[in-house]
A and B are shown apart, each in its own frame.
Chain A
Amino acid sequence: DIQMTQSPSSLSASVGDRVTIACQASQIISTFVNWYQQKPGKAPKLLIHGASRLQSGVPPRFSGSGSGTDFTLTISGLQREDFATYFCQQSYNTLGTFGQGTKVEIK
């Protein structure tokens, strides 16, 4: 099974900050990584797919990068509405494993 490990598990940041979340796969998965945002009591929302492809309607301050085993989600200029939990997910195999999540909190 492919394990997806996110770091950090939580972080505190201020509005306007640049935030980076890492996700490491337990094996090479090319660019089959997706990123989701989840706010409390809400369903997840797709932000990035194929490691770096911005989903339609998602603000360009969100970006993704990486290939192989190491991936990054970057939020450039954190906005108040970005405080949420972020999950990476591999779509390399049919188990679609998610990372454990990174909670972005207000400093």
Chain B
Amino acid sequence: EVQLVESGGGLVQPGGSLRLSCEVSGFTFRSYWMHWVRQAPGKGLVWVSRINSDGSRTGYADSVKGRFTMSRDNAKNMVYLQMNSLRVEDTAIYYCVRDLERYIFDYWGQGTLITVSS
């Protein structure tokens, strides 16, 4: 069974940092691209970042470029999102997502809530 389990969410002040983790199981992790997608409370879905299967290439939405860094550890079946210089508008549920192919998101974690507030 494919499973993606996020952790690391919580309350952080504007300007602060947080690191999200996603532990995956049930599939050959090193073969798949992975993404983070976020959803502000009561709002729609927004793609945040992606990483290729060996971790050599990443991509980011303009809204987080230069502040967020996505990485992975294929030996540990883990994906990470380092979030720096957090803003109030980064408040959202962050989902770890598997890429079936070409940005088709076939498996999602349960999400972890980040609240940026003073």
* Chain A interface residues toward B at CB < 8 A: 32, 34, 36, 42-46, 49-50, 55, 87, 89, 91, 94-101
Contact = CB atoms under 8 A, between A and B. Distances in A.
A98 B46 contact: yes
B108 interface: yes
Contacts of B108: 43-45
A43 B95 contact: yes
A49 B106 CA distance: 9
Contacts of A36: 45, 105
A49 B44 contact: no
B101 to A, nearest CB: 8
Contacts of B105: 34, 36, 44, 46, 89, 96
Given A89-B45, A94-B59, 15 more contacts: A34-B104, A34-B105, A43-B109, A43-B110, A44-B105, A44-B108, A46-B105, A46-B107, A49-B100, A49-B104, A50-B104, A89-B105, A96-B35, A96-B103, A101-B45
A87 B105 CA distance: 12
Contacts of B104: 34, 46, 49-50, 91
A56 to B, nearest CB: 9
A45 B107 CA distance: 7
A55 B37 CA distance: 20
28 contacts: A32-B102, A34-B104, A34-B105, A43-B95, A43-B108, A43-B109, A43-B110, A44-B45, A44-B108, A45-B108, A46-B104, A46-B105, A46-B106, A46-B107, A49-B100, A49-B104, A55-B106, A91-B102, A91-B103, A91-B104, A94-B59, A95-B61, A98-B44, A98-B45, A98-B46, A100-B44, A101-B44, A101-B45
A87 B35 CA distance: 17
Interface residues of B, number: 21
Nearest to A50: B104
A78 B99 CA distance: 29
A34 B95 CA distance: 17
A32 B100 CA distance: 13
A28 B105 CA distance: 21
